Amino acid sequence: MLKKFSHFQREANLIGGKWVQADSGQTLDVVNPATGVKFGVVPKSGRAETRRAIAAAQEAFPAWAKRSALERSKPLRKLHDAIMDNQEALAELLTLEQGKPLAESRGEVGMSAAYVLWFAEEGRRVYGDIVPSPWADRRILVTKEPVGVIAAITPWNFPSSMLARKLAPALAAGCTAVVKPASQTPYSGLAWGVLAEEAGFPAGVVNIVTGSAAEIGDEICANPLVKKITFTGSTEVGKVLIQKASVTVKKVSMELGGNAPFIVFDDADVDRAVDGAIVAKYRNSGQTCVCTNRFLVQSGVYDKFVEKLVAATASLKVGNGMEDGVKQGPLIDEGAVCKVEELIADATSKGGKVVAGGARHVLGGTFFQPTVIAGAKSDMRFSTEEIFGPVSPVFSFDTEDEAIAMANATEYGLACYFYTGDLGRAFRVMEGLKYGLIGVNEGLITTVEAPFGGLKESGLGKEGGREGILDYLDGKYVCIGGLGL
Ligand code: NAP
C-alpha cells in the first residue's frame, strides 16, 4: 500500500531500535521555508542521547559485521525498493521541509535509492590482495574489514541523498551508524530510520539523533567507539570536526564547500552552455555545493552569453515547490537571503551591473529572483565566497591561460565546468584545473557510478563510484610465515 509522507515524518529519534524523545523533553521546530509555517518538531537531543546511540551501534556492530556481504546486501536491496515504492511520499516530505521543487525532490530520492542499490552490489566486491612475497616460506595477504561504528553528519540542501552516500556504503561494508541530520531538514534523515526498520535492518545498526549540533558533534568526536566521521557541510564546520576528531585519531571523510567556475570559451556552443548554466546554477535555488559560483566567459561571446542567460532565467518559474511547473523554490532561511543581498550590494558598489533579477521576489518570504550580474570583477566577494543562492556573476577573460588561472584562484576545488568545441583545448583545460569534479560541455554530472569529492579545502575522500566504500574499510596486512616451502 502506498504510504503518505506523514508515515515518514517521525518526531522522535531512533536509538537501539526504539523511537525516543530527548532526555530533556525539549524539541526543535521544523519550518516549511515556502510558507514560513511550522511543520512539526523533532527532539533536541544532546551528548547523553548521542552516547547511547553510539553504544547501541557498537552493540549491533559485531553481528552485522559478521554477516556475509551477500547477507548484508539483501536488506539494502529491500531498502532500495522501499525508497522507490515511496518515492512520491518521500519527495513530498523533502519539499515540505527543504523547499526545492517536487520534481527535484523526486530526483533526489531516486538518486538516494540508486546509491543504495549501487553499494548493495559494491559491498560484494570488496576484494583484498595476495601480494607476491619476497620470501619463499612466507605469504602475504591484504584484507579489508569494516572500520566499526561510523557517524554521519549531513546538511540541509540534500537531506536525503547526502545521507544515502554515507549510509549505503557504511552498511554494505559492515559498519553500523549514528546519523545526525541537519536541524532545518531532519525528517528526510529520520525517514531513513523508518525505511531501515521496514527493510529489516537489526536494531542498533542505524541510529538517528537530532538536536544540538555542537553537543552531538562533540560526543561523536570525543567518543572512542566512533571509528570514522563522515561529514557533508561547510568547510568551516568540517575544519572544526577534523581538529576535534584528531583527539581519538578517527578516519574522516569531508565533503565541504565549493566555488565552482563555469568557463565558456569563444568556440563553445553558446546555447548548450546556457542550458548547462541554468542547471548548474539555479538547481535547488543555487543552494548546492556544485552550483556555479562564477561564470567566466571569453570576451568574444560575453555579450551573447549574458543576453541568452538573462532570457533563460526569465523562464524560471519561482514559487512553492509543491506547485506544478515551479523551477525555483524559496531559499532555506532569512539568513540565506540576507547573504545574497549583501553579495549583490557589494558587487554593484564595485561596478557590477544587475541585468536580471537582483531583489527579493514578490512572493515575499525567502523567495528571491533569479539574478544575473554582468561586469563581475575579482575584488567582488563572490570571487572567494560561496553564494548559495540564485545569483550568476559573469566575469570576462581573454586567454585560455587566464581562464585557468582565474578558475583555480580559490582555496576550494570541488566542481567546475567548461564549454569548448576544441578537443585539444578540452584536454589542456581539464589538465589545468585543480578540481575533483569536472564537467566538459555538461552542467550536471553527479551519478552514483562516479567518485564524487573535492580537492583542496573542498574535502577529503570520495563518495559514490568504486571508491565510495573504501573509507569505511580498514586494510590489514597479514604475513604468514613458517610455511616450510
Ligand atoms: P553546515 O552549517 O556546516 O552544517 C552541516 C551539518 O553540520 C548540519 O547537520 C549541522 O547541524 C552540523 N553542524 C553544524 N555545526 C556543527 C558542529 N560544531 N559540530 C557538528 N556538527 C555541526 O552546512 P550547511 O549550511 O548545512 O550546508 C551547506 C554547506 O554544505 C555548503 O558549504 C555546501 O557547499 C556544503 N555541501 C557540500 C557538499 C559536498 O558534497 N561537498 C554537498 C552538500 C553541501 P545543524 O543543522 O543542527 O546546525
Query: pLDDT digit string (tens) for 184-208?
Result: 999 999 999 999 999 999 999 999 9
What is the number of the ligand 1 atom nearest to the C-alpha of 180? Answer: 9
The pLDDT assigned to 59 comes to 98
State the burial class of residue 242 (Cβ atoms within 10 Å of its Cβ: 0-12, 13-18, 19+).
Answer: middle
From 49, 156, 234, the mutation candidate for ligand 1 (largest count of ligand atoms within 8 A of CB) is 234
**Mean pLDDT for the stretch of residues 360-369:** 98
**Mean pLDDT for the stretch of residues 454-462:** 98
Residue with the smallest CA separation from ligand 1 atom 8 is 182
Q: Does 122 score more than 90 pLDDT?
A: yes
The answer to whether 451 and 120 are in contact (CB under 8 A) is no
- Rounded to the nearest integer, the mean pLDDT of the chain is 97
CA 295 vs. chain centroid, Å, equals 22
The pLDDT assigned to 62 comes to 98
Residue with the smallest CA separation from ligand 1 atom 19 is 217
The pLDDT assigned to 159 comes to 98
What is the number of the ligand 1 atom nearest to the C-alpha of 212? Answer: 47
Q: Which amino acid type is present at position 124?
A: R
Cell of 350: 564595485
Active site residues: 255, 289
Nearest partner of 193 among 71, 349, 398, 43, judged by Cα: 43
Span from the CA of 116 to the centroid of ligand 1 (angstroms): 22
The pLDDT assigned to 320 comes to 98
The pLDDT assigned to 485 comes to 78
Residue with the smallest CA separation from ligand 1 atom 40 is 255
Strands 459-460 and 251-255: antiparallel
- Separation between Cα atoms, residue 281 and residue 103, nearest integer Å: 17
Q: Does 440 score more than 90 pLDDT?
A: yes
Q: What is the pTM of this model?
A: 0.97
Residues 124-157 have pLDDT tens digits of 999 999 999 999 999 999 999 999 999 999 999 9
The pLDDT assigned to 246 comes to 97
Span from the CA of 235 to the centroid of ligand 1 (angstroms): 8
Q: Which residues contact 25 (CB under 8 A, 6 or more apart)?
A: none
Span from the CA of 232 to the centroid of ligand 1 (angstroms): 6
Exposure string for 448-480, b = 16+ CB within 10 A, e = fewer: beeebbbebbbbbbbbbbebbbbbbbeeeeeee
The pLDDT assigned to 2 comes to 78
Which stretches within 329-399 are classed as H helix? 334-349
Residue with the smallest CA separation from ligand 1 atom 39 is 255
Q: Does 1 score more than 70 pLDDT?
A: no
**Mean pLDDT for the stretch of residues 298-321:** 98
Question: CB count, 10 Å around CB of 209?
Answer: 32
The pLDDT assigned to 281 comes to 98
The pLDDT assigned to 6 comes to 94
Residues 347-357 have pLDDT tens digits of 999 999 999 99
Pocket of ligand 1 (CB under 6 A): 153-158, 162, 180, 182-184, 213-214, 217, 232-234, 237, 240-241, 255-258, 289, 386, 414, 454, 459
What is the number of the ligand 1 atom nearest to the C-alpha of 258? Answer: 34
State the burial class of residue 394 (Cβ atoms within 10 Å of its Cβ: 0-12, 13-18, 19+).
Answer: buried
What radius of gyration, in Å, describes the C-alpha atoms of the chain? 23
Nearest partner of 255 among 272, 232, 238, judged by Cα: 232
Q: Does 117 score more than 80 pLDDT?
A: yes
Termini Cα distance of the chain = 63
Residue with the smallest CA separation from ligand 1 atom 14 is 213
- Separation between Cα atoms, residue 455 and residue 435, nearest integer Å: 6
What is the number of the ligand 1 atom nearest to the C-alpha of 458? Answer: 41
Residues 75-104 have pLDDT tens digits of 999 999 999 999 999 999 999 999 999 999
**Mean pLDDT for the stretch of residues 454-475:** 97
Span from the CA of 158 to the centroid of ligand 1 (angstroms): 11
Residue with the smallest CA separation from ligand 1 atom 10 is 182
Span from the CA of 234 to the centroid of ligand 1 (angstroms): 5
Residue 330 DSSP class: -
Could you give the percent of the chain with pLDDT greater than 90? 99
Which stretches within 186-269 are classed as H helix? 186-199, 213-222, 235-245
Could you give the percent of the chain with pLDDT greater than 70? 100
